Amino acid sequence: MKSYLVKGQVIEGVDLANCQMHKDDRGSFTEVFQDSWGTAIDPCQWSVVSSEANVFRGCHIHLRHDEYFCLLSGEASVGLRDERPDSPTFGHWQLYRLFGADLAALTFPVGIVHGWYFHTPSMHLQAVSESYVDYGADDNIGVHWADPALEIPWEFSDPVIAQRAAEFGSLENLRSEVEALRGSMS
């Protein structure tokens, strides 16, 4: 299967780069990141994350760092929503389906609510433009994945989620919290 945009509208700064796999008798070689791609991210930390089937991670937003997601194995859905007040695509959402057998790099800037659901046991490569050591709760604000205001048409109903994610509030609450944080950062 090919990785693709399932539904949604254009979101400024979001990019899905299909990675070209070069195969021969020895195996394969695939470039999964190039500075020349002109993506939204200048990575400073790379991580490999494994997830079991029916796991959902997120939804949350970052105010200081961009993010990169590349599924290495398995199958995942990634939902995004633009919550940047000055963005021409504010309020737009997207739902992607990614397959480890078809490497594709999804990058997005600060201010995008995001979450990922793993249909099968999966492993992904994740990069951020600010080290996890340097950021805290003020750059990781959550919204419950099932809030209808997100408008993301998730294709699951009862995922395994972290206790913290189960306690996330509404999109309206997220917006209030983000507005307060942006005011204190000015």
DSSP state letters, 32-63:
---GGG--S---SEEEEEEE-TTEEEEEEE-S
DSSP state of 102: B
Q: Which residue has the tokens 């950021």?
A: 135
Report whether 56 contacts 146 (CB < 8 A): no
The model's pLDDT over 14-69, given as tens digits with 9 standing for 90+, comes to 999 999 999 999 999 988 888 777 776 788 788 899 999 999 999 999 998 889 99
Domain count, the chain: 1
pLDDT tens digit sequence for 120-171: 999 999 988 788 777 666 778 999 999 999 999 999 999 999 999 999 999 9
Task: Give strand ranges (E) for the chain.
Answer: 4-8, 15-18, 21-24, 27-30, 45-51, 55-61, 67-73, 75-82, 93-99, 104-108, 112-118, 122-128, 141-142
Our measurement of the distance from residue 157's CA atom to the centroid of its chain's CA atoms, rounded to an integer in Å, reads 19
Q: What confidence category does residue 1 fall into, taking pLDDT thresholds of 50, 70 and 90?
A: confident
Total residues belonging to the chain: 186
- 146-161 CB burial, b ≥16 within 10 A, e <16: bbeebebebeeeebeb
Among 96, 184, 92, which residue's Cα sits nearest to residue 139? 184
Domain that holds residue 95: 4-185
CB of 84 closer than 8 Å to CB of 113: no
CATH code of the domain in which 127 resides: 2.60.120.10
What is the pTM (predicted TM-score) of this model?
Answer: 0.92
Q: For 83-131, how does the pLDDT look when each residue is reduced to its tens digit (9 = 90+)? A: 999 999 999 999 999 999 999 999 999 999 999 999 999 999 998 878 8
- Tell me how far apart the alpha carbons of residues 104 and 94 are, in angstroms, rounded to a whole number: 16
